[in-house]
Every structure is written in C-alpha cells, then in structure tokens.
Amino acid sequence: MEIRTMESGKAWIVSVSGKLDALSADEYERALKQLIAEGKIHLIVDFSELSYISSAGLRVLLSTAKQLKPQGGKALFANLQEGVRDVFEMTGFSSILSIHPSVEAAMAAL
Amino acid sequence: MTAEGGEGALGAVSRTAELENLETFQDFLVQCAARFGLERRRTGLLTVAIEEIFVNICHYAYPDGPGPVTLNCRDEGDRLVLEIIDEGQPFNADTVALPDLEADLESRKIGGLGWFIVRQAVDDLHCYRKDGRNIVTLTLNR
C-alpha cells in the first residue's frame, strides 16, 4: 500500500494505492491520525488505485471516520473499484460512509 | 481426472500462521479459482474471505507461537471446495456474533465483520474439529 497526500483548495486529497488489508491497515491508520493531528480534517480519500480491502481495512476506515467527527472534520471516499465496492456494499459501508464517483464530485459535496 | 492428492485435487499449500504468508495463500487460491473457472468478482471476494480466516488463525489459534496452516483446493465438478486447516486451539465460527449492518457511523461497532464477509463470499461454510485440527470448509457452486 502507498499513501500520497495533496492539498486541493479546502480539502486534502489522500490517494491510497495497493491493498488495504491486515498487513497495511495500521499504516493507513497512522497516516490518517497524523493528518488529523496536523489539523487536516477535510479529507477526500481517493481509492482509484486501491484494488483490495478486507475487514481489517474497513475497521481503520471506520475508526478514522469516528475520530474526525468530533473535530468537525469529514472523510469522503471517491473512485471505488469493483472489488472494493463489492465489499463496501456487502457490509453496509456504502451507506455509513460518504461515497462519491469522483474526486470532483466529493469536492462538491464537502 | 486423477491428480496428486486425489480426484479433482487442485493442490495444497502449507505455511506457518504469520501474516506475511497471507499473500502466498491468496496467490494459490487465485490460481485454483482460475483453473476451476470461477468468475472474477467471486474470486475477489473469496480472496478477502481467505484473509479473514487466515488472520483469525494468526491471531487466535497459536498463542504459544505460530503453527502450521494448510489450504487445500478441490474441483468437484459442480463446485469448488476449499479447506483451511490449522492445528491450534478449538474454534467455531458459529459462535461469532454477527455485525449490526443497519447501525450508523456513531453506533457501528468496530470489527465483527470478518466472518460476515466469509459467509457472504461462499455458498456454504462449514467448521468442524477433527483429530486436533480445526477445519473450515468453503464451498462455491459453479
């Protein structure tokens, strides 16, 4: 997994590539915690290059979303690929997280 | 058809229960699913199911240090059958609570999703203990 962060207007775009699994979930959580600690709390997570997610990955998406909420922040998710979307839909995550077809659409919804 | 390991055998792989071996099991699974002709999306979900089961074994089966895990794949013609076998502490997936899928962000509990995904990814899930081994059988109908 690789995470790249880029400022874009009022939000930070967090591009995640590779796999979000039991081996990489902690790294994602650390990276997001760091952003939140730096006050970067309006996040658009771009999953266009994320090929895979498991429950370990879902767990850290949920925990970071919960950390953002009391600070008035938000994470929006864009560009879910087929395998990731299937897991989101199966587990109900597509209705508890904010999902958007593109980074632009997420930006407009922020 | 006669292959090594009995009729319909697609092969087996054994490694110790350590997370770094996850990809070996998943790569093997993808090969078996391709030979069986399983659809891409079902294969994708099955890869996640294998992680959930393997990670569970890594975390709970061997408190005194990692022991062996084996993945067996079999083509039974009308179905693909996978067996994940460990020699650790007794475990039964039936005792694992299901997540509340209706809960919103605030009340949604973190975790509990692994076995739910496994159940959804397959047509049949069967767990049993035999000769000091935990055996999880996953069946995917053609």
pLDDT 10s digits, B10-45: 999 999 999 999 999 999 999 999 999 999 999 999
Contact list in A for residue B117 (CB cut-off 8 A) is 54-55, 87, 90-91
At residue B86, the 3 state secondary structure works out as: strand
Look up residue B52 and give its two tokens: 């959930």
Q: What was the ipTM of the complex prediction?
A: 0.94
Looking at every residue in chain A, the average pLDDT score rounds to 96
Contact list in A for residue B108 (CB cut-off 8 A) is 62, 96
Please tell me if residue A98 touches chain B, with a CB cutoff of 8 Å: no
Contact A63 B120 (CB under 8 A): no
Contact A91 B116 (CB under 8 A): yes
Contact list in A for residue B97 (CB cut-off 8 A) is none
Cβ-Cβ pairs closer than 8 A, A with B, add up to 69
Pairing state between β B79-86 and B68-75: antiparallel
Q: Is the pTM of this model over 0.90?
A: yes
The closest of B71, B72, B55, B65 to B88, measured between CA atoms, is B65
